[in-house]
Amino acid sequence: MPAPFDGRLTPELREQFDRDGFLLLPGLLNPHEVESLSRIARLDHQAATSASRADGEGGSIRLHVENELTDDIYSAICRSARIVDLAEGVLGEEVYHWHHKLILKEPRVGGAWAWHQDYGYWYHNGCLEPRLVSCLLAIDRATRANGCLQVVRGSHRLGRLEHGKVGDQTGVADAERLEAILARHELVHCELEPGGAVLFHSNLLHRSDQNHSDHPRWAFICCYNARSNSPYKATRHPSYSRLEKWPHEQIGAVAQRRLQ
C-alpha cells in the first residue's frame, strides 16, 4: 500500500500533473476523517434526496450538488488548506470554490458516468479557459468492480471536445475521435482506498462504469476555479469570491460537533 500523501506539492508532482492531467494522492484524508465523512454523508442521504441521472447504458447515478459553503463537513473539506493549496499549486494562482458534490453509487444499481471533460460543460457556464481543477475523495474503497474513476492520461492536452447528451448526462459526442484517443493514450483505473484522492484537470477525459459489485462506491468531489477565470456571465455556479482557507484539522472538529 502506498504511503499517505504528505501534503507537499513537489516540483516533481507539479510536472507530473502538467504531463498527465491528474495526480493520485493516497491518504489525503486520514481514517478518522473519512470515517466521519462516511457516517455524516449516509446520515444526510438515508432518504433518496439526491438527484438521479440516467447513464445511457440502462442505469442511473445519484448525486447531490451544492454551490454554497456553510459550516458542515463538506465545506470544511473544500476549505482545507491542504486541498486548496494543491489546487492553487497546479493552477498557479488563487482559486475559489466552484461547487462540491457527492456521488452515490449503490451496490448492483449504481450507474455509469459517460466519457466527458468537465470543461465540456463548464465552458457553457461562462468560463473562458479550462482553468479549473477537481479533487475526488474516495469515501468507500474504489475498485474496477464497483465503478472507480477512469481517466485518459494526458488527454487534458487535446483541448475541449464536442459534447452532447448521453442519457441524462453530458458526454463526448464524437465517438470516432474518442475511439482514436483511447487507441493512442493510456487508460488508467483510479483504484483508491477510503481517504485517497484524485486531483484532475478540467479537460481530462474521464468516466466510470456501473457498479456491478456488492459494495457501494460513494465519493466526494471539491471543484475549484481560478480567480482569473471567473465567469463572464451569471450562471448556476458562482463567480469569484475569496475562499477562506481553514486548517485541515478543522474537518475533525466540524465532524465531532455533528456526530455528538
Backbone angles phi, psi at 147, to 5 degrees: 85, 50
Question: What was the pLDDT predicted at 62?
Answer: 82
60 belongs to a structural domain: yes
Residue 176 lies in a domain: yes
Q: What is the pLDDT of residue 112?
A: 85
Buried b (16+ CB within 10 A) or exposed e, 218-231: bbbbbbbbbbebeb
Residue 5 falls within a domain, yes or no? no
Residue 12 within any structural domain of the chain:
no
Is the Cβ–Cβ distance between 41 and 50 less than 8 Å?
no
Q: Which domain holds residue 95?
A: 19-259
The per-residue DSSP string of 195-224 comes to T-EEEEETT--EEE----SSS-EEEEEEEE
pLDDT of 58 reads: 58
Question: Number of structural domains, the chain?
Answer: 1
- 135 and 197 Cβ atoms separated by less than 8 Å: yes
Which of 126, 80, 44, 35 lies closest to 249, judged by CA? 80
**Is 10 domain-assigned?**
no
**Domain membership flag for residue 6:** no
**pTM for the full predicted model:** 0.94
- Whether residue 2 is contained in a domain is answered as no
- Establish if 221 belongs to a structural domain: yes
Residue 176: give its domain's CATH number.
2.60.120.620
Per-residue pLDDT tens listing for the chain (260 residues):
788 899 899 999 999 999 999 999 999 999 999 999 999 999 998 754 555 555 455 566 788 999 999 999 999 999 999 999 999 999 999 999 999 999 999 888 778 888 999 999 899 999 999 999 999 999 999 999 999 999 999 999 999 998 887 766 677 778 899 999 999 999 999 999 999 999 999 999 999 999 999 999 999 999 999 999 999 999 999 999 999 999 999 999 999 999 98
All three cell numbers of 180, joined, read 482514436
- Please report the pLDDT score of residue 59 as a whole number: 63
